[in-house]
Amino acid sequence: MSTATTTTSRFNTGIYHGKLGMWVFLASEIMFFAGFFGAFIVLRDLNIEVFTASAHQLDKVVATINTAVLIGSSLTMALSHLALERGNEAKFRLFLTITIVCAFAFLGIKSYEYASKFSQDIYPWTNTFFATYFTMTGFHALHVIGGIIPMVWMLGKSLVKGYPQSMHHRVEALGLYWHFVDLVWIFLFPTLYLIF
Amino acid sequence: MEAAVNTVRHEHGEGHTHSESFIRRYIFSTDHKMIAKQFMITAIIFLFIGGAFALFIRWQLAYPGEPIPVIGTMLPSTWVNADGAVTAEWYTQLLTMHGTIMIFAVIIPLLVGTFGNFAIPLMIGADDMAFPVLNMVSFWLFPLASIIMMAGFFVEGGMAAAGWTGYAPLSVIASLGQTLWIVALFLIGFSSILGAVNYITTVLNMRAPGMKMFDLPMTVWSVFITAIIIIIGTPVLAAALSMLFMDNFLQTSFFMPENLTVTGRDMSRTAGGGQPLLWQHLFWFYSHPAVYIMILPGMGVVSDVLATFSRKPLYGYMAMVFAIIAIAFLGILVWGHHMFQSGMNPLLGTTFMVSTMVIAVPSAIKTFNWLGTMWRGQMEFTTPMLNAVAFVSMFVIGGLSGIFMASTPVDVFIHDTYFIVGHIHYVLFGGSLFAVFAGLYYWFPKMSGRMYNERLGKWHFWMTFITFNGTFFPMHILGVGGMMRRIYDPTVYDFLKPFQPMNEFITINAMILGFVQFILVFNFAYSWFYGKKAKRNPWRANSLEWQAPSPPPHGNFDKEVRVYRGPYEFSSPESVQDYLPQNVSPEELAAQWTRHEQRRAQQKSEP
């Protein structure tokens, strides 16, 4: 390194702070959802009939569409990072926009699912299955919202004064987070909708 | 990569001397040293609040039903009765909030927040944390959470009253104060996680050139391992608290069994089917590792203090590092030992018993290595050293009484008695808090640029040490005698009446213990402004923080730091003085020797 005195520009591991910190943060996120999955296992074991009957009330078709939307957004997120790394900002904007649209679509479909449950008089306090269902998918949806905010900020910055290619590592760190959100859903989808 | 790396410079890359506004400098500061001081001051305020709660508890136990002296009649009628004595409702709130405040708002912020923030960048030769803004957010979540928690004072039904463990279903059916408690703990957990991400990234990525992981001082190692425990444990508590919040606020049934009836509460929406023990498992999955979150940084600080003031290398540095890793690893596996009497399969109980006792092995490695460090050293009994030695001895007592509880058959008899109250205070006060004192006195010259008053420091130490033992040692006897842990009035039981003089003895000691802490506050407050100016390296220590100016400016070091050796080269035959800082290069050392030889030759030639 040319400037040994400024340690903020030093990376002992060869990985950017943002990327390394994001990996550590994602480790804690795994443990956060592990708490819910642990509770799910215990409660399912205690109330297997209730869980089976309630899980069949969920809409598998809508959830499958939602899964496809979210996995698609993961792909476009990766492509937008790749585009920025190669210096193609127009493509970066395009793929980032698609990612944001997919994220909103996911939330829209999720709200539709929630609304249809509420209309059938099904709420979190109906039984332990729906308590876990609403809590887990609710926290997942909060994570989706938490991803949309920096995406919109990056897109806005890119439109207003351009997003510098040299800051592509920030997009990469956000991408890591977004893939994690996707991955959580990939675990939630079979656990809540398919295994019963 | 090189070009890209250089573009992500910190805004303060060059020239740290620019002036900052008052708010940027003292309130929303991103400087790790200021954040450490903010953590310290907030936590010390809470130390006094939590301590006052303990004294109210002690007053009631020693003199049940008698009015609190002086302030009794001034307190609101929801807390005290017409005479000014503590009511049973307020008593339960007091013991809940005493535990919660001392753990989440005092010990963890002092050990992890203060020492982690202050020591890590300075000890690894970095100019700040990896994420300074995240660091600021991590601090400000803590006062915010504390205000939310203390707001319970002013809501109907008072503060949380389900014990610091918040066991369901009591915590589910509780009033608004409990809901605030849940929200506050969630925020404090989030603050911990953000801090831990920062510590891990900083230690892994920002060490000075030449500094390997095994050149790190024990303080940095211990906070680093603690941060890993936080990353693994705290999110699980957050998940558990989220579920408890759902149960408490939306009447879901994660932790609510079927057909539970509660007088005066509409349970029609509670469907049941939940498992109260699930809360205990999830809670202790975090809160047992939290015990190690509260002791490991103390062990690190004490290791550094002992080596410095014994003028000897830390005995068995590698063993000390691996013992910390072993304690952390085992600590995550043993949460079930808090639940021996909650309804656990005896076979599972045995597993938890054995794994708990295995922790004695790395703990003993640490204890014997501390003794080995002091053995035949040139001991200097300064205030930090006295506190560090007290830590070692009190930690041994706390560790040994822990083995009683870990043995399932003995635990049947002593669980939920004052024996466990004695044990936890020997570990958390005798252990953690003495380590906190050691660290505060040790780094005070670096933090403030001035020396504290040694005489007042010694008075504070000896008064604390004597009254601490006077307060907590008799609790073991009370516990074996059968006095229950959360009892409001021990005199209602005949078999506890003979213990009343002992309860009074404890209370008198506890009051002195509480009031002598003002010596610490006075000493620090006075010395901060009027103390003797501190030199760069007043303790003649080796680690990097002592090579920076006292107090270090924004950006820390005024010269380039490069590391050539480990932090414990005391009394080394290689060095001219009895210490050899990590950043002295071989060339500089050779020059020191040349100067030394010249001086000796000069002295010889001059008769």
CATH number, domain of B136, equals 1.20.210.10
Total number of domains constituting chain B: 3
Question: Is residue A13, in this structure, part of any structural domain at all?
Answer: no
Query: How far, in Å, CA of B404 to CA of B419, rounded?
Result: 9
Question: Is residue B209, in this structure, part of any structural domain at all?
Answer: yes
On whether any CB of chain B is under 8 Å from the CB of A194, the answer is no
pLDDT (tens digit per residue) in A99-143 = 999 999 999 999 999 999 999 999 999 999 999 999 999 999 999
Structure token pair of residue B249: 């606020």
Question: Is residue A6, in this structure, part of any structural domain at all?
Answer: no
* Whether pLDDT at A192 is above 90: yes
Beta bridge partners of B579: B570
Question: Is residue B16, in this structure, part of any structural domain at all?
Answer: no
Answer yes or no: do B500 and B375 share one domain: yes
pLDDT score at B262: 85
Q: Compute CA distances B84 → B48, B62, B89, B153, B488, whole Å.
A: 21, 15, 14, 17, 16
Q: Which residue has the higher pLDDT, B577 or B510?
A: B510
Residue B184: pLDDT band with limits 50, 70, 90: very high
pLDDT score at A9: 57
pLDDT score at A57: 94
On whether any CB of chain A is under 8 Å from the CB of B10, the answer is yes
Q: Identify the domain containing residue A115 by its residue range.
A: 25-194
Name the closest residue on chain A to residue B4, using Cα atoms: A166
Task: Residue A37: count other Cβ atoms within 10 Å of its Cβ.
Answer: 17
Residue B2: pLDDT band with limits 50, 70, 90: very low
Question: Is residue B6, in this structure, part of any structural domain at all?
Answer: no
CATH number where A95 lies? 1.20.120.80
Residues of chain A contacting residue B130, judged by C-beta atoms under 8 Å apart: 8, 17, 20-21
B45 by DSSP, 3-state: which?
helix
Answer yes or no: do B482 and B578 share one domain: no
Q: Which among A7, A33, A128 has CB closest to B273?
A: A128
Answer yes or no: do B551 and B420 share one domain: no
Answer yes or no: do B496 and B394 share one domain: yes
Structure token pair of residue B466: 């004597």
pLDDT (tens digit per residue) in B200-224 = 999 999 999 999 999 999 999 999 9
Question: Is residue A3, in this structure, part of any structural domain at all?
Answer: no
pLDDT (tens digit per residue) in B429-481 = 999 999 999 999 999 999 999 999 999 999 999 999 999 999 999 999 999 99
Distance (Å) from the alpha carbon of A133 to chain B's nearest alpha carbon: 11
Closest-CA residue to B302 (of B522, B23, B111, B587): B111
Mean pLDDT, rounded, of chain B: 92
Distance (Å) from the alpha carbon of A141 to chain B's nearest alpha carbon: 15
Residues of chain A contacting residue B14, judged by C-beta atoms under 8 Å apart: 6
Question: Is residue B9, in this structure, part of any structural domain at all?
Answer: no
Question: Is residue B190, in this structure, part of any structural domain at all?
Answer: yes
Lowest-pLDDT choice from B47-56, B67-76, B96-105: B67-76
* Whether pLDDT at A8 is above 60: no
* Whether pLDDT at B71 is above 90: no
Question: Is residue A133, in this structure, part of any structural domain at all?
Answer: yes
Mean pLDDT, rounded, of chain A: 92
On whether any CB of chain B is under 8 Å from the CB of A31, the answer is yes
Q: Which amino acid is at B98?
A: H
Answer yes or no: do B422 and B441 share one domain: yes
Structure token pair of residue B583: 């950043």
Answer yes or no: do B106 and B172 share one domain: yes
Residues of chain B contacting residue A9, judged by C-beta atoms under 8 Å apart: 5-6, 8-10, 13
Query: How far, in Å, CA of B21 to CA of B37, rounded?
Result: 18
Query: Helices B360-374 & B317-333, crossing angle to 10 degrees?
Result: 150
Q: Compute CA distances B448 → B34, B260, B409, B519, B550, whole Å.
A: 11, 57, 51, 18, 7
Residue B607: pLDDT band with limits 50, 70, 90: low
Query: How far, in Å, CA of B175 to CA of B184, rounded?
Result: 15
Name the closest residue on chain B to residue A23, using Cα atoms: B197
B533 by DSSP, 3-state: which?
strand
* Whether pLDDT at A3 is above 50: no
Answer yes or no: do B332 and B419 share one domain: yes
Answer yes or no: do B528 and B579 share one domain: no
Residues of chain A contacting residue B7, judged by C-beta atoms under 8 Å apart: 164, 166-167
Closest-CA residue to A57 (of A196, A165, A174): A196
* Whether pLDDT at B103 is above 80: yes
Cα pseudo-dihedral B189, B194, B196, B200, rounded to 10: 160
Q: Which among B8, B193, B275 has CB closest to A9?
A: B8
Answer yes or no: do B544 and B602 share one domain: yes
Answer yes or no: do B447 and B577 share one domain: no
Residues B239, A39: C-beta atoms closer than 8 Å: yes
Query: How far, in Å, CA of B387 to CA of B221, rounded?
Result: 21
* Whether pLDDT at B15 is above 70: no
Residue B17: pLDDT band with limits 50, 70, 90: very low
Question: Is residue A118, in this structure, part of any structural domain at all?
Answer: yes
Those of residues 36-65 in A touching chain B at CB distance below 8 A are 36, 38-39, 42-43, 46-47, 50
Q: Identify the domain containing residue B562 by its residue range.
A: 539-607
Lowest-pLDDT choice from A42-51, B8-17, B133-142, B509-518: B8-17
B475-501 per-residue burial string, b: 16 or more CB within 10 A, e: under 16: bbebbeebbebebbebeeeeebeebee
Question: Is residue B1, in this structure, part of any structural domain at all?
Answer: no
Answer yes or no: do B320 and B285 share one domain: no
Residues of chain A contacting residue B220, judged by C-beta atoms under 8 Å apart: none
* Whether pLDDT at B82 is above 50: yes
Residue B12: pLDDT band with limits 50, 70, 90: very low
Strands (DSSP E) contained in chain A are none
Q: Does the complex come out with an ipTM higher than 0.90?
A: yes
Those of residues 186-225 in B touching chain A at CB distance below 8 A are 193, 196-198, 200-201, 204-209
Task: Decide: B204 and A20 in contact? Cβ < 8 Å.
Answer: yes
Q: Is B342 left (phi over 0), alpha (psi -120 to 50) or beta?
A: alpha
Query: How far, in Å, CA of B129 to CA of B561, rounded?
Result: 16
pLDDT score at B8: 37
Residues B13, A9: C-beta atoms closer than 8 Å: yes
Total number of domains constituting chain A: 1
Those of residues 132-151 in A touching chain B at CB distance below 8 A are 132, 135, 139
Question: Is residue B254, in this structure, part of any structural domain at all?
Answer: yes
Structure token pair of residue A85: 């790394």
Counted across chains A and B, CB pairs separated by less than 8 A come out at 178
Helix residue ranges, H only, B449-562 = 454-480, 500-530
